[in-house]
Amino acid sequence: QLVESGGGLVQAGGSLRLSCAASGRTFSSYDMGWVRQAPGKEREFVGTITWTASTYLTDSVKGRFTISRDNAKNTAYLQMNSLKPEDTAVYYCAGRRSSTYYFYSDRSDYDYWGQGTHVTVSS
């Protein structure tokens, strides 16, 4: 089970840190992804942190977002800085067994999927 937190309303240029708390004993062996869905748009890959802590980010957030994980706390994080109105979306965290592809955006590609947390960036 995955539970996201940390969303909210922030002004453009501000920051938020999303957390994704996982239950179970296998968190450290899973790749953790972040996916977002803006109103009226399809889901979009945001980033992945692998079980070895390698990170991959979509181009639109590089330099602004970072992904990290704390295996001792079974938690993954998405630090979002310099937020823009176009970052407004529901953000989902998701987990899957490690693979060699890291850019999944579809729920069916993950073993676990969180309930989502809303992020609204005002201009």
Across 17-46, average pLDDT? 94
Across 26-53, average pLDDT? 95
Q: Which of 51, 59, 81, 56 is nearest to 67 (CA)?
A: 56
- Predicted local distance difference test score (pLDDT) of residue 24: 80
How deeply is 110 buried, as exposed, middle or buried, from its count of CB atoms within 10 A (0-12, 13-18, 19+)?
A: buried
- Phi and psi for 117 in degrees, rounded to 5? -135, 140
- Residue type for position 64: R
Q: Using one digit for the tens of pLDDT, what is the confidence trace for 55-97?
A: 999 999 999 999 999 999 999 999 999 999 999 999 999 999 9
